[in-house]
Structures are given as structure tokens and as C-alpha cells.
Amino acid sequence: TTEIYTLSLHDALPICLGCYSMCHDWSGNIYVADAGRHFIFKVTEGGGGLDGDYQVSTVAGKFGTSGNNAALQNVKATDARFNSPYGIACDKSGTLYVADTSNNQIRTIKDGLVSVLAGSGIASGAGGAGFVDGACMDAKFSGPFGVAVDRSGIVYVADRTNHAIRKISGGQVVTIAGNGSSGARENLVPTADTNTWPSRLNVFNAPYQLVVDRKGNIYVNDYNNRKIKMITPDGSVYLHSGSGANGRTLGTPYTSSYSSILAMDIDDSNNLYLLDENDNNGSRLLKLDQDGKPGVVAEFAGATDYNNYVRSLCCSPGQKLFVGTHDNR
């Protein structure tokens, strides 16, 4: 049985302005990237705080202050500055990976220090945005939004404005799917002809988030196409769920329609969970089975007071589902 918890963080902090991404560590602590307030915080069970059950503490950045000192390595976490961090992930050692979106970089937080993992960032001028593979510090991203890490420590990035999925491994950034132009192609199998390799084709339209299962399959929230796509370890790209139509009809994996997939996570049994927004700033929590067929787990009403905008989702150890809300006023 899956338990559902709603985190509305106004009791412990001023309004969480842009909480689009949450992740957990192996102890069950929750980490939140607040893109609107430009900092990272931690939610820990026990010790008062949220209704007496949770407490919140800052992990890195300064509340409400954007900036960039990402050219520096091993910056003290309280001195680090982010600019609209949207994505966050945690590996088994406790290292946090942050998609520092408006700085066009992927950064790490470990033992109280913040460093650059990949992306030349604004140090290269003109915002630092670009679409360049290669050595981590020379590579360029454009609005990296989602980030995930697999069990072997390989990091994957949903590079939203480049409409691509990038892999960070061995000091290199490599594009594994997408080519910088928006599109909607899928069910693509690599061949000997590199011109038909998925990384050379327009596969995505503003990929938003991604998760990796135990087998190494990558599931991508293809946001503007209203679909979930899967990249297999051999580089094939398949449609996993969604007709692409704007709607709220649930049926087979390929006839079901979504409105606006705001968040996604995966549990230990490889079931995907989605938050799909409705017209009143509420949303429905959906569970996809391993074939991609969705079913409703819970419905969240429209915006009321601090329960505005149900935007983030995390499936922590023990099958606890955390749903994060924030106020966009």
C-alpha cells in the first residue's frame, strides 16, 4: 500500500515559490529545488516544523537571492548561488545533483560544498547557453531542467531548450537522443547508419524531467508532446504512454491523454507516477504500470490558499509518495 503525503511548506518557510522537483536520499530525507527562491532545502521527518512531523533546513544557496559563482569549485554551500534551479537528484552516496537552469550548468552538493559537474555556464558569455558535447567543463546546455542519476553514478539531463537528453559520464557530456530541434518522433531503433541514430533526430519537444529504472531504461517527460518516452540502454527511443492529445482520458498506454505532466518519479518496482495538471491548478496523481497503462491514485482539488499549484513528486523508500505544493503568487 502506497502512502501519500502532501508537503505544503509555508509553515516552516516563507512561500515556496517554485518547487518543481524533489528527490530523496537513501535515509528517506527529501530535498527540494526551489527555482523561484534560488536555493535547495531539506525536509527531515521528526523534530517539529511542518505540523510537528517534519522540519526544514537550507542545504545550499541563499533564500531569494539568485546569482552565479559556478566558475568556482568547492564553494561553501551557504555561499553558493543558483539561478532558477529546477531539477534535483541524489545518488546512493548522498551527492546531490542540481540542474542550475538559468546558469546552464549541472552542479553537485556534497559534504557542504557546491561544485560544477558540467556546463561552461555564463562564464563563456551570452548566458552560456549552447548545444555542445565534449569535456564536462567545455560542454554547453540550454535550460537544463531535469536531472537523474542511475545506480552506477551516470547522470542524465533533460536539456529542455535543446530538446535533447544528455549523458554525463567519465568527464564527458554526450547527447543520447534529440538534436536541438523540437519534434515528436519515437519508436526509433539505432541502425548502422548514424544519420538515423536517435541522437540525430528530432525526438522531443521541451523534455521536462526524466527517471532511470533498475534496468537502465530512461523515461522522459516529453512535456510539449504530452507523452512519456523511453530510451533503452541500446539507444532506442519508444513511446511508453500518451496519445499526444490534450485531454484527461485514460485507456491503453497509447490512447490515454494527458493535459500537462508536471512531475514524474519511479518506485522500486518500476512503476511510474505522474502528476497531471487540470484546468484549475489542481492535478491528478497517476500510476503507470510497467507497460505504460495509467490509473488514478489520487485527485487534488484546484488552488486554495497555500495548496496552490501541486507541482512536484517524490517516491521515497518504503513506498511513501510525497507531493509538493507551492504558491505562484
DSSP 91-106: -TT--EEEEEGGGTEE
Confidence of residue 219 (pLDDT cuts 50, 70, 90): very high
Confidence of residue 277 (pLDDT cuts 50, 70, 90): confident
Distance between CA atoms of 58 and 91, rounded to whole angstroms? 19
pLDDT value at residue 171:
97
Q: Per-residue b/e over 78-107, b at no fewer than 16 CB within 10 Å?
A: eebbbbbbbbbbbbeeebbbbbbbbbbbbb
Confidence of residue 302 (pLDDT cuts 50, 70, 90): low
Strand 54-61 to 39-50 pairing:
antiparallel
Query: For residue 10, what are the CA distances in angstroms to 40, 43, 81, 163, 306?
Result: 15, 13, 22, 34, 7
pLDDT value at residue 50:
47
In three-state secondary structure terms, 210 is strand
pLDDT value at residue 316:
79
pLDDT value at residue 47:
54
Residue that is written with C-alpha cell 559520464 in the block:
169
Between 15 and 82, the higher pLDDT residue: 82
Confidence of residue 313 (pLDDT cuts 50, 70, 90): confident
Residue that is written with C-alpha cell 529546477 in the block:
86
Question: What's the pTM?
Answer: 0.91
Strand 164-169 to 30-34 pairing:
unpaired
Distance between CA atoms of 257 and 268, rounded to whole angstroms? 25
User: Do the Cβ atoms of 239 and 288 come closer than 8 Å?
Assistant: no
State residue 128 phi and psi, 5-degree precision.
Answer: 75, 0
Dihedral (Cα; 26, 102, 166, 123), 10-degree rounding = -110
User: Do the Cβ atoms of 296 and 284 come closer than 8 Å?
Assistant: yes
In three-state secondary structure terms, 170 is coil
Distance between CA atoms of 107 and 83, rounded to whole angstroms? 12
Residue 320 confidence (pLDDT) above 50: yes
Q: Which of 85-99, 181-195, 300-314 has the highest mean pLDDT?
A: 85-99
Cell numbers representing residue 250 in the block: 485514460
State the average pLDDT over residues 299-322. 70
Judged by phi (left if over 0) then psi (alpha if -120 to 50, else beta), residue 61 lies in left
pLDDT value at residue 261:
93
Residue 271 confidence (pLDDT) above 50: yes
- The chain-wide mean pLDDT, for the chain, equals 85
Residue that is written with C-alpha cell 549541472 in the block:
106
pLDDT value at residue 20:
80
Distance between CA atoms of 171 and 187, rounded to whole angstroms? 30
- Per cent of the chain over pLDDT 70 is 83
State the average pLDDT over residues 35-49. 79
Residue 110 confidence (pLDDT) above 90: yes
User: Do the Cβ atoms of 136 and 199 come closer than 8 Å?
Assistant: no
